[in-house]
Amino acid sequence: MKKNIVISSVAAIAALNPEGFTVNAATLQPVTTGYAVALKKTQNSFGAEGLAKVANVIDELQASGNLNGRTLAFGGWYDSESGLYYYDATVIFPDRKEAIEAGRANEQIAIFDLGKLEEIRL
């Protein structure tokens, strides 16, 4: 898909999911299993500019082929304290322990269990 279409589609997904979402970067379909780990390089990405930054990072990662079979996803979540809707480039790990290690390596406060819809604090 062309990047501007992807960005528009992800913005529409965010509008329909005000509390948050995780969608496969290749298909834009919801990811419902595994552990979502946001990447440090897309922290503090919000608004249209932040979404464009996330799309660029996802493009780079897809082109690199260095995902080791893991799913790459767009993530979004609403921060009620700041009133901002954040976007993340997210890697989905099937293994909880690996996800926790990756979360710590990416300086995350938490990762997210997509199957149980639960935050896992680090």
Query: Does pTM top 0.75 for this prediction?
Result: yes
Domain that holds residue 34: 3-121
Average pLDDT over residues 5-9: 92
The total of structural domains in the chain comes to 1
Q: For the chain, where are the E strands, in sequence order?
A: 20-24, 35-38, 45-46, 71-79, 84-93, 110-113, 118-121
* Residue 33 scores a pLDDT above 80: yes
Average pLDDT over residues 64-89: 89
Mean confidence (pLDDT) of the chain: 93
* Residue 28 scores a pLDDT above 70: yes
Q: Decide if 18 contacts 76 (C-beta within 8 A).
A: no
pLDDT of residue 53: 96
pLDDT of residue 57: 95
Q: Decide if 72 contacts 61 (C-beta within 8 A).
A: yes
Provide the 10 A C-beta neighbour count for residue 59.
14
More reliable by pLDDT, 33 or 2: 33
* Residue 17 scores a pLDDT above 70: yes
Chain centre to alpha carbon of residue 37: 7
Beta strand 45-46 pairing with 71-79: unpaired
